[in-house]
Structure 1
Amino acid sequence: MSTLSPPPLSPPTAPAPTPTPAPAPSGGSRPVLTVLRYVGLAAIVLFCLAPFYWMAVSSLRRTSDIFDMSLWPSPLSLENYRAVFRGNQNFDQALLNSTIVAGTTTVLSLLFATFTAYALARLEFRFKRLILTLIVASTMFPVVAIVVPLLQVFTDIGWINTYQAMIAPSMSFALPLAVWLLTAFFRQMPAELEHAAMVDGCTRGQAFRKVIIPLAAPGIFTTAILVFICAWNEFLIAVSMANDPDVETAPVAISKFTGAVEFETPFGSQMAAGVLVTIPLVILVLVFQRRIVAGLTAGSSK
């Protein structure tokens, strides 16, 4: 009668080594990093805002104190602001002209760029990438390269000293910028949005108007602000196409400021005019701040 032998015992396995946690940063280094972070942010803010602060401070100095290097004017004076709207400066009309030119450029650029960007983002056709590359490349041409040919063309058709002579060239740079920004924004929006709207009975156009446009509002507002700033600050085209004080824009009017004495540069008046030109842009950014931030961060997370 055979007996069953017990199976051989296996040697015990050693327990897996426990991973050692990474050393945590010492408590003393965290305050140092925090301080360095805030110091870096403060340096960036100071670098960006220092010119605007000095412009505002200089605009509040008296003409005799314009070269004073103090950080705050003493005494405060509004004579530079009075000088901007006094005499033959015609600065109020220049501000109105800038509003008309920049506003019209922005509206027309957004109107054409929205449809163009949506087509480039949604439709599939040959040479689409090449077309988008050419659109972006058109913004790289220097303005001075097109001013002389356009000046000759506009002189022949009688457009000199007109708003359209400044709007059309400005659109040649604002429109590609708007198309590029909106194309990237529309690409981030899922195509299922239009499909769901079309299943519910909408046509392609209705889905674009009722679904896509409201959702694309942050990107459209961001693009509008950037285009408006570019058109508002444009100088070379405006100074080349208009020499009539009733048509010239604010940057051109500031460059033509004259002092009370011959050969005198009115630094104080120019600083005050610079503040007045900057205020509309600051108000515009503050009013639409949330939409701008939402447009710039759209698509960063799903």
Structure 2
Amino acid sequence: MGSILQGKALRLIVAGVLLINGLFPALWILLTSLKSEQELTQKPITWLPESPNMENYFTAFTDQPLHLFLFNSFMVALLSTLLTLFVSVLAAYAIARLNLRHRGLILSAIIAVSTFPLVTLLVPLFEVMRGLSLLNTWTALVLPYTVLSLPVCTLILVSFFEGIPRDLENAAMIDGCTRIGALFRVVVPLSAPGVFTAGILAFVNAWDEFLLALSFNSNPALRTLPVGIQMYQGEFTFPWPVISAALIVGIVPVAILIVLFQERVVSGLTTGGVKG
């Protein structure tokens, strides 16, 4: 009995440490966004703002076109997510259902590709985009983001598709569906948790990406949120309260997305992990 209680206490401690580690940075950014410059730099440091105000949020929208950064990030992330889901669904179905030769080698290659550091791909991708005359366009970001998210999304969906009985597809095809029709009318709806999980992962990856967005787009009208936030700093000044306000504005859409679909995402991650 004592060992069981000790095990539960240890799990609670570990869970508490992980929770604090995950929430503290966001909480500190939120508190900073409600402070003034003077209050932020005074000593000793005050944890809570003495007179919270929303002035930094108004400044974040007036000093820089934050609404434009948000729009660009949303459109790029949405388009890349839709394209990623479409391609990964087809790829995962082929791996899970078709009798492919060297299936294990294909899966190993997908895993290997997903481990490449992004910085090693920067120059080749830049040369490709320049050769295609796609620099300073949304497409220059949508295509690389799709490629970068495909391995993980494909592996997630393969795990789900393999758990769906083939008889359901066969019944749909007997009723007149083509194989593609059975895929999108039967397999994909039954794999909804996996599809939502893959979609949210692809969206968050595209929403947060900085290096490619900085390198491929020099047009101020096409800046995404991560690149736009760095525009708030001057040559010798770092307005952390305003930057923090912009960061909170950028966190909110992703937080809302995760809250709305958290049950499907948790179900997708746990079910996929068990099946995998």
Give the structure-2-normalised TM-score: 0.91
Equivalent of 2:170, from 169, 184, 195? 195
Give the Cα separation in 2 of the matches to 1:150 and 1:33. Answer: 49
Overall identity of the aligned pairs, in %? 38
Unaligned runs of 5+ in 2: none
State which drifts further: 72-81 or 151-160.
Answer: 151-160
Alignment match, 1:73: 49
1:90–1:245 CA contact under 8 A, matched in 2: no
1:256 Cα offset (Å): 1.9
1:49 Cα offset (Å): 0.6
What SS does the aligned partner of 1:246 have?
helix
User: Are 2:218 and 1:240 equivalent residues in the alignment?
Assistant: no
Alignment match, 2:58: 82
- Check 1:200–1:158 CA distance in 2 against 1; reply closer, same or farther (3 A cut): closer
Structure possessing the higher relative contact order (Cα contacts under 8 Å, 6 or more residues apart):
2
Give the Cα separation in 1 of the matches to 2:170 and 2:124. Answer: 47
Alignment match, 1:211: 186
User: Are 2:112 and 1:106 equivalent residues in the alignment?
Assistant: no
CA deviations 1:140-166 (Å, max 9, x no partner) are: 222122222332333343322111111
Alignment coverage as a number of residue pairs: 272
State which drifts further: 220-229 or 154-163.
Answer: 154-163
Give the structure-1-normalised TM-score: 0.83
Partner amino acid, structure 2, of 1:63? E
CA deviations 1:111-164 (Å, max 9, x no partner) are: 011011011001112122212221221122221222223323333433221111
Unaligned runs of 5+ in 1: 1-24
User: Are 2:268 and 1:292 equivalent residues in the alignment?
Assistant: no
Partner amino acid, structure 1, of 2:243? Q
Partner amino acid, structure 2, of 1:150? L
User: Are 2:147 and 1:169 equivalent residues in the alignment?
Assistant: no
Alignment match, 1:50: 24
User: Are 2:231 and 1:253 equivalent residues in the alignment?
Assistant: no
2:84–2:147 CA contact under 8 A, matched in 1: no
Alignment match, 1:20: none
1:170–1:231 CA contact under 8 A, matched in 2: yes
CA deviations 1:177-208 (Å, max 9, x no partner) are: 21111112211222232234345554433332
Which residues in structure 2 correspond to 1:259-274 (within 5 Å)?
A: 259=234, 262-274=235-247
Partner amino acid, structure 1, of 2:32? S
What SS does the aligned partner of 1:298 have?
helix
Equivalent of 2:252, from 279, 284, 291? 279
State which drifts further: 180-189 or 225-234.
Answer: 180-189
1:186–1:216 CA contact under 8 A, matched in 2: yes
Equivalent of 2:197, from 222, 232, 240? 222
User: Are 2:102 and 1:127 equivalent residues in the alignment?
Assistant: yes
- Check 1:32–1:181 CA distance in 2 against 1; reply closer, same or farther (3 A cut): closer
Give the Cα separation in 1 of the matches to 2:6 and 2:107. Answer: 47
Task: Identify the structure with the greater helix proportion.
Answer: 2
- Check 1:193–1:57 CA distance in 2 against 1; reply closer, same or farther (3 A cut): same
- Check 1:257–1:44 CA distance in 2 against 1; reply closer, same or farther (3 A cut): same
Give the Cα separation in 1 of the matches to 2:173 and 2:126. Answer: 48
User: Are 2:22 and 1:41 equivalent residues in the alignment?
Assistant: no
CA deviations 1:19-49 (Å, max 9, x no partner) are: xxxxxx26xx766655444333222211111
What SS does the aligned partner of 2:223 have?
coil
Partner amino acid, structure 1, of 2:47? L
